[in-house]
Amino acid sequence: MPKSRTHNKSNKATLSLLDHTSSEIDIWGDIHGSKVQGLSDSACVLVSAKDGRFTSKGTKVAYAYQISAFRKFGREQLRNVPTSKRAHDLVISHLCGTRNCCNENHIILESKVINDERTHCHFGARHAAKAGKLQDWINSQACPHKPMCTSSVK
């Protein structure tokens, strides 16, 4: 089994969010942000911080999408998401292709390899959307992923 790698800045092997108690995370409440229409079939939710981080009492504590993932998947599943990403490590992936989206329906856990593949789908979908042909792109089944890129998980 390969040695657990740590993040190059924090020297942590797991998400810093997990340093907080479940009670602390619960106190932060639901993530509220502006709703924007991305590539998905439901609106993306973005926090006001440009870097996507959630702040509590003046301190940046985690990326807001990680808090949404904590609510959706729980502490035990997020312990399997390392900070240093290898090809087959588990990551928090956005089906919508919108960086830092906090909509729980747009977030899944999957390998970094699949997450990286989704980048190509999101690129194609964005170009199709700019040309007014996103639905054609979706109907063409150009995305091989399950769940499909640009969809939501209910």
Say if CB 64 and CB 33 are below 8 A apart. yes
Closest CA to 150 of 71, 37, 47: 37
Q: Is residue 10 assigned to a domain? A: no
Q: Is residue 50 assigned to a domain? A: yes
- End-to-end alpha-carbon separation of the chain, Å? 35
Tokens of 95: 């089906």
Per-residue CA distances from 126 to 25, 56, 149 (Å): 34, 34, 11
Q: Is residue 151 assigned to a domain? A: no
Say if CB 6 and CB 83 are below 8 A apart. yes
Q: Is residue 153 assigned to a domain? A: no
Considering its fold, how many domains does the chain have in total?
1
> Domain span at residue 125?
16-139
pLDDT at 10 over 80: no
- In this predicted model, what pLDDT tens digit does every residue of 107-151 receive, in sequence order? 999 999 999 999 999 999 989 989 999 889 889 988 999 998 888
Q: Is residue 8 assigned to a domain? A: no
Strand partners, 153: none
Say if CB 116 and CB 94 are below 8 A apart. no
Element (H, E) at 54: strand 53-56
Residue 1's pLDDT band (cuts 50, 70, 90): very low
